[in-house]
Structure 1
Amino acid sequence: MTLALPARRTLVAALTLAVVSGSAPASALPLGAVPFGTGLAEGPTGTWIVQTDPGTAQDVIDDLRGLGLGTSHEFDEVMEGFSLEATDAQIRALADLDDVLRVEAAVPTAISSSSETTTQRRPTWGLDRIDQVGLPLDGGFTYASSAGAGVRVYVVDTGVDPTHPDFTGRVTAGYSAIGDGVGADDCHGHGTHVAGSAASATYGVAKGATIVPVRVLGCDGRGDSSHVVAGANWILANHPAGTPGVVNMSLGGGVSSSMARAVDALTGAGLLVVAAAGNANGDACLTSPARVPAALTVGATASTDARSSFSNWGTCVDGFAPGSAITSTYPGGRYATMSGTSMAAPHAAGMAALLLQREPSLRPAALTERMLSAAHPVVADPGPGSPDVLLTTVQATPTPTAEPEPDPSADEPAPDEPAPAPGELPSAPEGLAATSVTSTSVTVAWGEPSAGADNVVGYRVQSGPAVGTWTAETVVPATARAHTLTGLTPATDVVVVVSALGPLEHAAAGEPITVRTSSLVAPGGPQTPRLTAVTTATLRVAWSPPAATADAASITGYTVQRSVDGRSWRTVTTTPARSATLTRLEAGTQHHVRVRANSAAGSSPWVAAGSAVTRARPSAPRSVRQVSRTPSSVSLTWAAPATSGDRVTDYRVEYSTNGRTWTRFRDPVTAARGVTVDALRPRTTYRVRITAIADGVTVGRSAQTTVRTSGARPSSAR
């Protein structure tokens, strides 16, 4: 989503107008409350990329911070601007600023791998394939011992494990746009595998290149376009002048003009961007960065030179490279086999590094032309609009004629251990069934194949209106046993089939099932949510049920969440009631609360109940003193706590003779500041302490005070 920008105003004016346009009267909106006012900060937040006029980004950022909004990333190379988390209302107000050129919603990005890893490791055929014109393979990959030396390969991905023995001394300090404390290391595995195909000592094309990790995807393999832009911005700011380099992006998401500007900026700086075409068996022009003309977009082939079944195609594809069942490096000093255009792209990036090592002055356009001139028309079924182009190294050798075909692994460097045999290929998954159905989603579950289960590398879930007419396709890990289809139409049949994926493009499809989505729809949001009964440690929220509609499913309960910053939410309770009490809250702290209604057809949007500040915690009682005594009692008084003393509901009185063992004096619950403690021993010294109680919680304890009972009255003479 990119917002068109009309005539613009100042920040305060824009935000104030957005607030006033909500339900509250303008007079009820003090300026200091603008960032969290009605109709502005309420509702879900998203990540947005903002481009400003040259030289104005810092002024806009300073204004935002003054109004309670911060930035996620700040850009000065790809563009002038920043990214931030904001609601739709906040971002529309921001779009009205005089200094804002463009506002774009960040699109989700993820790794472009068609399957997760498997523990079965097979020697790669990809290196063997790229140094010759055609099949059969000749059993070797010829390269210079310094291949790629002096060239930087930027791996824009999930990070790279710098300790892998195949990278020794060649992984330099990188960058992370993911603020989870992991840094540029790889907690997923995808980035290390990609880096290995490009430049590892065992399975890499450019075995002497320097690897620079640029982490833009999290431990789950996901991120968004703002992370990619931040990564590109870092590369532009830190790439050494005069050093040849290539940028590998084995990732993809929806169409994003911000990612296009990032690719163009990198290209303009002399860095070729190699992009994975994507794994949806669809048009690569529908994804970014694959669709960007300046990028070298790479599809995947199998060992037969046929386009991989998952590989995207189309006019945005520039060429193909090996991408099915590719063995490469994996975190922890291991090796793994993965499939995807993510594996094809680093083969091409490595080829680019080989050329740049020999001719460092090649610009991206000339480098692309040189690579395509060494390609060959051998790809079977490249797909509609795709070029029949298999990328190879410039030193391509003629097709071998010797028979029989040599062993593909004859000259392949071996991993640390012998690779196991392929084993039994998996049969189809069993027991496919729908486990949850709503008006817009279906969850299906299945069991593992009866044969070859140990060799499953993933499961492909396809759905559509009829068998063979698949409109959606997803590959899930080998450990998955369920998947949820979303975005469906109510009261509609959907056909689902699940296939077990094995090595070398193997796929075994199970029996399809037909599921009908519910005709009922999710309810609307709860009405008039409100916060009441605020104490030092509790809040009470109440609401009315959603407005009734004929096609809304019956409500099964409500979910309540709270947040201290309005961004990170925690579920407090799910209840059938229309109220809830939030307990164990921190005193003197602002708490945001939201509620949604749940049903068998799905959940309503979140509805904000507002925010409230819990009462400040009272301090300790003061000035405890003894005012009178008898042989068996002492009378005490004290002053209320200096802070929030009026909120004290009771005082607890304790006494001790040694300061270690304390006895509580049982008296009625009262806020009175005096008491007579009885049942004491005569002529005895005691230590006393007073504890304040507020809202049922201990909040402050006085210092100890020493008191003493008097002596016993002498008896009369007889």
Structure 2
Amino acid sequence: MAGIAAGNGKDIAGAPARGVAPGADIVAIQIFSKFTSEDYCGAGDAPCVLSFTSAQLSALEKVWELKQSGTPLVAANLSLGSGRYASACEDDPRQAVIDQLLDTDVATVVAAGNDGYTDAVSAPACISSALAVGATTDDDELSTFTNRGPQLDLFAPGTSIVSSVPGGGYVSKSGTSMAAPHVAGALAVLRQAFPTRSIASLEALLKATGKPITYTGASTPRIDIGQALSHTSDKPGDFNGDGKSDAAYLYDYGANSDGTSHSALWLQTSNGTGFNKPVKLWDSGTGSWTWDRTRTT
């Protein structure tokens, strides 16, 4: 994960040219433990390495403390997860600190999971303030294993990704765990390019400028850092920098529904004759949005 996000591209046989943000630094926090019980590891798989939710919570709190002390953190990458969630898991114990990190300009980037769910992601990717990341192939096809659906925020490459492993070597691995650090690295690149923009606006920029990947039940953007960096168009309403006006809407489901709201973006087609399918940019989550106390601009 560290090599994908910020590998420096040393000239070593079998090494990739570099990571996404080779100029970035890594703060590594250990959250894993050795389990010896087959009740946790599965029959025949003990011992194994797993992570307590409490350890993840402590690590995220440490990230917040480091940010408060002046460490210029941009993103916390969590290439882990479990469970199946077709809707936002707002009762997850990690949500409060993930919300807190976003308020202090740190994104929490989480792997969506590798169970092949078509309408759900794992936890903590299901937390609405986290960035849930799924995996695609080099041909912009869905990776067969990736979780996906309305809960997903972004796609990034996650099939046959070559990166560093302990011992000084390099191997190819696949998973949404490989996709997530692509997004963490992308946010570091965008932070350098747009130092005055909030992390929330950089997340929105990645969503608005990504290539829409449409599949059954949803459409999710695959990150395109080049498009995001070239977002200099002065065309009114141009969200992805292609010189064409786009359309964004904030939608209230109303008091008679589940109390949620969301914003969605329609990007104009390349030939300017219509709009692509909408991409969800933000979802309030159940019960977290008071519509009558807002103003829309």
TM range (shorter): 0.5 to 0.7
Q: Does 1:200 align with 2:32?
A: no
Give the aligned length: 202
Q: How does 1:429-508 map to 2 (within 5 A)?
A: none
For 1:265 and 1:397, locate their aligned partners in 2 and report how far apart those are by CA, in whole Å.
Answer: 27
- Change in Cα spacing, 1:333 to 1:319, as seen in structure 2 (3 Å) is same
CA contact (8 A) 1:201 1:207 kept: yes
Paired residue for 1:222, among 30, 37, 50? Answer: 50
Q: Does 1:361 align with 2:196?
A: yes
Equivalent residue, structure 2, for 1:241: 70
Q: Which has the higher helix share?
A: 2
Q: How does 1:281-292 map to 2 (within 5 A)?
A: 281-282=116-117, 285-292=120-127
CA contact (8 A) 1:247 1:272 kept: yes
Deviations 1:158-199 (A, max 9, x none): xxxxxxxxxxxxxxxxxxxxxxxxxxxxxxxxxxxx110000
For 1:283 and 1:261, locate their aligned partners in 2 and report how far apart those are by CA, in whole Å.
Answer: 27
SS in 2 for 1:299: strand
Extract unaligned runs of 5+ from structure 1. Answer: 1-193, 399-718
Q: Which has the higher strand share?
A: 1
Q: Does 1:250 align with 2:100?
A: no
Q: What is the one-letter code of the residue matched to 1:226?
A: S
**1:218 shift after superposition:** 3.1
- Change in Cα spacing, 1:361 to 1:214, as seen in structure 2 (3 Å) is farther
Extract unaligned runs of 5+ from structure 2. Answer: 10-17, 35-47, 84-88, 231-297
Deviations 1:254-302 (A, max 9, x none): 3661122232122122101111111001156452111111111111001
For 2:6 and 2:174, locate their aligned partners in 1 and report how far apart those are by CA, in whole Å.
Answer: 18
SS in 1 for 2:32: coil
Equivalent residue, structure 2, for 1:491: none
**1:241 shift after superposition:** 2.7
**1:318 shift after superposition:** 1.1
For 2:101 and 2:121, locate their aligned partners in 1 and report how far apart those are by CA, in whole Å.
Answer: 21
For 1:322 and 1:397, locate their aligned partners in 2 and report how far apart those are by CA, in whole Å.
Answer: 18
CA contact (8 A) 1:276 1:345 kept: yes
Equivalent residue, structure 1, for 2:222: 390
- Change in Cα spacing, 1:361 to 1:325, as seen in structure 2 (3 Å) is same
RMSD over aligned CA atoms reads 2.2
Q: What is the one-letter code of the residue matched to 1:389?
A: P
CA contact (8 A) 1:319 1:391 kept: yes
- Change in Cα spacing, 1:383 to 1:335, as seen in structure 2 (3 Å) is same
- Change in Cα spacing, 1:291 to 1:384, as seen in structure 2 (3 Å) is farther
TM-score of the aligned structures, taking structure 2 as reference length: 0.63
Flag the structure with more relative contact order, 1 or 2, with Cα contacts below 8 A and sequence separation at least 6.
2
TM-score of the aligned structures, taking structure 1 as reference length: 0.27
Paired residue for 1:273, among 101, 108, 131? Answer: 108
- Change in Cα spacing, 1:324 to 1:233, as seen in structure 2 (3 Å) is same
SS in 1 for 2:3: helix
CA contact (8 A) 1:198 1:347 kept: yes
For 2:4 and 2:65, locate their aligned partners in 1 and report how far apart those are by CA, in whole Å.
Answer: 26
- Change in Cα spacing, 1:319 to 1:224, as seen in structure 2 (3 Å) is same
Deviations 1:584-613 (A, max 9, x none): xxxxxxxxxxxxxxxxxxxxxxxxxxxxxx
Q: What is the one-letter code of the residue matched to 1:231?
A: A
Q: What is the one-letter code of the residue matched to 1:390?
A: R
Deviations 1:502-532 (A, max 9, x none): xxxxxxxxxxxxxxxxxxxxxxxxxxxxxxx
CA contact (8 A) 2:81 2:124 kept: yes
For 1:375 and 1:343, locate their aligned partners in 2 and report how far apart those are by CA, in whole Å.
Answer: 18
SS in 1 for 2:132: strand
Paired residue for 1:262, among 78, 89, 97? Answer: 97
CA contact (8 A) 1:278 1:284 kept: no
- Change in Cα spacing, 1:383 to 1:290, as seen in structure 2 (3 Å) is farther
For 1:396 and 1:257, locate their aligned partners in 2 and report how far apart those are by CA, in whole Å.
Answer: 31
